[in-house]
Structure 1
Amino acid sequence: MTRTPLSYLPAALAAAAALAPVAVLVWMSVGADLLIDGRAFEIALNTVALTLLTVAGAVLIGVPLAVVTTYADLAFRRVWVAVLAAPLAVPSYLGAFAFFAAFGPGGEIETVAGLATPRAQGLAGATLVMTLYTYPFVLISTRAALQSLDANVVDAARTLGLSLPAALLRIVLPRAANGIAAGSLLVALYTLSDFATPAIMQLDTFTRMIYVEYNAFGLDRAALMSLQLLALVVIVLFFESRVRVRRERPGRILRLPLGNGVKAAALLLAGLVVLAALVLPVAIFGAWLVREGVVGFEPAYALNSAYAALLAAAGAVILALPVAYAASVGWIGRLCERATYLGFGIPGIVMGTALLYLGLRLPLLYQTLTLLVLAYVLRFLPLAVGAVRSSTERVENNLVGAARSLGATPGEAFRRVSLPLILPGIVAAAALVFLEAMRELPATLLLRPTGFDTLATYLWRVYEAGYLGRGAVPALALVVVSGVALVLMLSGEARRRRLTAG
């Protein structure tokens, strides 16, 4: 008789918890008026337009930069790759905050340099900001696809009469199409989920209007809009699941000796992107810090962020362990693992709406830190599961079997054999969840206890009150947190490459 693995029960509970917000939203929306009018059409149109334009912008920036940083003979190539990937780790609402303050009449650029600039707002402003902070998705996935291509195919095309630009367009890019598509779908998913950027840019999308309905005590309407947004997310997730980056037999890497003009144009594009996405926000936040100091900021905001994020990291790791082990032993476990991934696809504003309703029905949870931490755990559990599972898969079963044959109990074998081997994955999982929870805004706005402000919510309060200069300290703190997240991400990728090569 086959014994059911002990990890199945907690994995099933984690999967049920991940699916619960969707069930709550469906229940909330029962009885809500489904309005199909000009206003509803405008919200849907804005959401779709922002997504499509952001994807187009990310592809136009990400693909050329991917080709140049993969194939061209650039000096300091690795430095450029790291710097160009950096905006991915920065929350887009920091960029939106900086662009909102920098441009337009009375903006920082006009105040400091005397240059009149148009205001960054609406669809154009939101598209610009979202593109700057999502193009690295396309850059990274396209580079991964390009690095697996054999240069001999391009050489053969050149010998048949194709020019180098034609060979790139007709041979290289089509073979990297799946990588471009994978990055584009991630851009679409991020754009659909973003709340603060459309709100700061005053663009009425689903995420912004869900928050408006929440403030107007229209939870049933907020739930209905959440389900409509979730339907768009599910469509993107479906297409993402159908895309697979094509891997070819490794061969010689193509090298392109660029002319001085082309190289200068590539470096100019890269420089402008880095200037807009990284230098401009940091310069503005730094200027505010010098001008206004730390007025209004309290260390408790940082402590609150760290405390809630630490609890979320611990909870996510505790849940991730049985899910990762269950996924490695059978199809039921893999199904549970897939269910937990839904949390990362649910926008924070949608997760917050569902758990807010749950808190209203369970007064013991309403406006408590427990509910906020639960939102963080459900939202970022996939990060923990992925990191932990990558470690558990490297634990050889014969080591555990040897320990058991020597008389160790299952718990002792795990503690003395498996745990030391998977500890790096556990630490990485906790760090990723901690950093993401520190930066989470929409779910925190909806679920935080009264008087409990984090770095992100204080920054939002500063924006709403119009005291932009007081956002310097939390903004710079979040930039530092984002930098740590980038270092972890890049070091993790380097470690995985070394393990694969070994």
Structure 2
Amino acid sequence: MTESKPVSLTPQSWLSRLSLNGWTALVIIIAALIATPILFVVSSLFTNAQAVWQHLAATVLADYIINSLWLMFGVGAGVLIMGVSTAWLVTLCRFWGCSWFEWLLLLPLSAPAYLLAYTYTNMLDYYGPVQITLRQWFGWSSVNDYWFPDIRSLWGAIIMLILVLYPYVYLLARTAFLEQSICTLEASRSLGCSPWQSFFKVALPLARPAIMAGLALALMETLNDFGTVQYFGVNTFTTGIYSTWFGLGERQAAAQLAAFLMLFIVGLIAIELWSRRQARYYQTSSPQLHLPRYQLKSWRAIIAWLVCFFPFFLGFFAPAIYLVHLVMANAADALANNFWQLASHSLIVAVISAIAALLFALIMAYGQRLKNNLFMKISIRIAALGYAIPGSVIAVGILIPVGHLDNAIANFVQDTFNLKIGLLISGTILALIYAYLVRFLPVAFGAVESSLGKIKPSLDDAARSLGSTPSKILVKVHTPLITGGMLTAIMLVFVDVMKELPATLVIRPFNFDTLAIRVYQYASDERLPEAAAPALAIVLVGMIPVIFLSWQLAKSRRMN
């Protein structure tokens, strides 16, 4: 009996088995760049910052945990109720104005929560238009004559976040309702279910995965928020990270707080996955037929109209009109104070970040199309983590390794050439753009991947048979076909960068303020008239992808 000799695997044979080609290597490099800040934050758990932690535990750590949990609970409940109810009404009910509300309900996405916080505080303050009007109507002369709720509180932060984050649930829930089978809903009606029973027993369970995905996005944005909770004096992990870093000067403790915040994100994802477990959701017939709409009349139509009107009115229309009023009433001050310089700063970082994110997303999506191997799958998963990580965490994770790298380079140059070069990356626009890429690359990747996935593989085979290389196929064949997805990717990243506050506040170069930073500074100093123009500019820019998204939804529905 002869024994077979073990086959020795050379490095070349290992690479061939793992299909490690140039595209896979590029994707791995991108994933490594994205993962580096996250790994540094996680590694901070193993450093010793016991003295600072004891101080935090004795003073504010309990507030960070309790306030963050209350924010998640309040915002989660609010966006579920508001997003699902409005999605159901505009999709499967017919009442006056429902076709307008289909896209009006998306407009609050264009305004970050901190803008609503600044605007509503100014409107509802003692010297704001609301309380002034109430005193004129009822003859009140001082605060001793009446009671008015203080919006600068935990419940105020919850309401502000609900008003701007419910569109995440609304959008995905409405898409899920549109894709549901007409036969399934008609079967429930034939079995004696009322519209409400069909909603709770059939439509809602089928739309559950999409609703939970929207809820997860809303909760991640809640944990990422800094401007709203800081302005309202609510201590959360994001405010704690900033104050620990800049107030106490403790980088390691700030990194450990950031790692603790990441546990909340991981917990959200784990709970959602566990809740689904082995459940599967399938449609048994084509969703191409139009779903029957329930005609609402009399008081039912009025209630449906009000349910859809108030989220749009409170989340977009009222604050936008007030900002326009402030800009027009204080035009000289609003457009002064380096407004155009701030706009150019925001434009520069947004354009560079959007283009870089598009290039990285193209490499990742096309590399996955060419070689969907183990390395590729793991790398894509890692690169997609950034959007789930709050901007303050990413900022901490970037500043620490970049600072070490800058110090190492400066020491080497000084020891070798006796030259002092200072810091090359820290405190520069490169570090800021790096943070934006880590945070928003998944947004660009999702848009590019969805467009690229619609191209049949046979087109690649035909191009290869004519002698084209993968690079030429991407440039000459795929790129013209996915122009819409590429524009969507650029537009989404551009707007997200314009609105981003926590990462910009921590990493921005000295004397390099953006529109978001200036709004935060002016609002913190109670100078909302000067902040109105930058705030309105952010809202107007944010409306671009929202209007485009609304048009795409309307177009897809007409095609069906």
TM-score between the two structures when normalised by the length of structure 2? 0.83
Query: Which deviates further from its counterpart, 396-405 or 421-430?
Result: 396-405
1:303-330 residue CA offsets vs partner (Å, 9 max, x unmatched): 0000011111121122112211222221
Q: Does 1:8 align with 2:24?
A: yes
The question of whether the paired residues in 2 share the 8 Å contact of 1:43 and 1:204 is answered with yes
| Post-superposition offset of 1:158 | 4.9
- What is the distance in 2 between the residues matched to 1:318 and 1:282? 34
| Equivalent position of 2:48 in the other structure | 31
2:116 corresponds to 1:95? yes
Q: Provide the aligned length of Structure 1 versus Structure 2.
A: 500
Answer yes or no: is the 8 Å Cα contact 2:95–2:304 preserved in 1: no
Instruction: Identify if the C-alpha distance between structure 1 residues 415 and 131 changes in structure 2 by more than 3 Å, giving closer, same or farther.
Output: closer
Asked if 1:421 corresponds to 2:481, the answer is: yes
Q: Is the 8 A contact 2:88 2:174 kept in 1?
A: yes
SS of residue paired to 1:253: coil
CA–CA distance in structure 1, aligned partners of residues 436 and 524 of structure 2:
24
CA contact (8 A) 1:352 1:446 kept: yes
Q: Which has the higher contact order (CA 8 A, sep 6+)?
A: 2
In structure 2, what residue type is equivalent to 1:46? N
Matched, 1:218 2:253: no
Alignment of 1:76-91 (within 5 A): 76-91=97-112
Counterparts of 1:409 and 1:336, CA distance in 2 = 23
Counterpart for residue 434 of structure 1: 494
Alpha-carbon distance in 1 for matches of 2:355, 2:183 = 49
In structure 2, distance between residues paired with 1:393 and 1:156: 34
User: In structure 2, what is the Cα distance between the partners aligned to 1:68 and 1:497?
Assistant: 16
> Once the 2 structures are TM-superposed, how far is the Cα of residue 175 of structure 1 from its aligned partner?
3.8
| Aligned CA distance change for structure 1 residues 404 and 161 (closer, same or farther; 3 Å) | closer
Number of the residue aligned with 1:179: 210
Q: 1:311 maps to which residue?
A: 352
Distance 1:160 1:52 in 2: 36
Structure 2 match to 1:323: 364
Shift of residue 207 of structure 1?
0.9
| Match runs of 1:346-365 below 5 Å | 346-361=389-404, 362=406, 363-365=423-425
Q: Is the 8 A contact 2:106 2:550 kept in 1?
A: no
Q: How much does 1:276 deviate?
A: 1.0
Matched, 1:192 2:223: yes
1:183–1:395 Cα change, 3 Å? closer
Distance 1:22 1:357 in 2: 11
Task: Report the CA distance between 1:136 and its aligned residue.
Answer: 1.5
1:5 to 1:78, Cα distance in 2 relative to 1, 3 A: farther
Which of residues 255, 277, 283 is equivalent to 2:315? 277
**How big is the shift at 1:245?**
8.3
1:296 and 2:337 are equivalent in the alignment:
yes
Query: Residue type of the partner of 1:330?
Result: N
Match of 2:10 in 1: none
How far did 1:14 drift? Answer: 0.9
Q: Displacement, 1:154?
A: 5.0
Of 213-222 and 288-297, more deviation after overlay is shown by 288-297
Give the Å deviation of 1:437: 1.0
Residue 263 of structure 2 corresponds to 231
Paired AA for residue 370 in structure 1 = L
Task: Choose 193-202 or 30-39, whichever is displaced more.
Answer: 30-39
Deviates more, 1:341-350 or 1:150-159: 150-159
* 1:246 corresponds to 2:281: yes
Query: Residue 369 of structure 1 aligns with which residue?
Result: 429
Trace 1:55-66 onto structure 2 (pairs within 5 A): 55-66=76-87
2:295 alignment partner AA: P
Instruction: Name the amino acid aligned to 1:32.
Output: A
Compute the displacement of 1:396 (Å): 3.9
Contact 1:50 1:127 in 2 (8 A): yes
Alignment of 1:3-152 (within 5 A): 4-29=20-45, 30-33=47-50, 34-35=53-54, 36-37=57-58, 39-111=60-132, 114=135, 117-150=148-181, 152=183
Where 1:7 maps in the other structure, the secondary structure is helix
Which is higher, the Rg of structure 1 or of structure 2? 2
Alpha-carbon separation, structure 1, partners of 2:326 and 2:128: 12
Q: Percent identity?
A: 28
Is residue 453 from structure 1 mapped to residue 491 from structure 2 by the alignment? no
Q: Is it true that 1:338 corresponds to 2:354 in the alignment? A: no
* TM-superposed deviation, 1:142: 2.2
2 CA distance for matches of 1:144 and 1:195? Answer: 30
> Following TM superposition, by how much is the alpha carbon of 1:494 offset from its aligned partner in structure 2, in angstroms?
5.5
Shift of 1:24: 1.5
**2: distance between equivalents of 1:398 and 1:165?**
46
Q: Displacement of 1:160 after TM fit?
A: 4.9
Question: Cα 1:271–1:498, aligned 2, differ >3 Å: closer, same or farther?
Answer: closer
Identify if the C-alpha distance between structure 1 residues 274 and 219 changes in structure 2 by more than 3 Å, giving closer, same or farther: same
Tell me the distance in 2 between the aligned counterparts of 1:84 and 1:285: 19
| Cα offsets for 1:251-273 (capped at 9, x unmatched) | 66242122310110111122222
TM-score, scaled relative to structure 1: 0.92
3-state SS of 1:31 partner: coil
**Aligned-partner Cα distance in 2 for 1:377–1:273:** 32
CA RMSD of aligned residues (A): 2.5
CA contact (8 A) 1:145 1:247 kept: no
Preserved CA contact (<8 Å) 2:387 2:440: yes
Q: Which amino acid aligns with 2:118?
A: F
* Cα distance in 2 for residues equivalent to 1:25 and 1:235: 17
Q: Aligned partners of 2:552 and 2:21: how far apart in 1?
A: 30
Distance 1:201 1:378, change over 3 A: same
Change beyond 3 A, Cα 1:301–1:146: same
Change in CA separation of 1:422 and 1:150 when aligned onto 2, cut-off 3 Å: closer
Q: Distance in 2 between matches of 1:189 and 1:245?
A: 25
Secondary structure class of the residue paired with 2:294:
coil
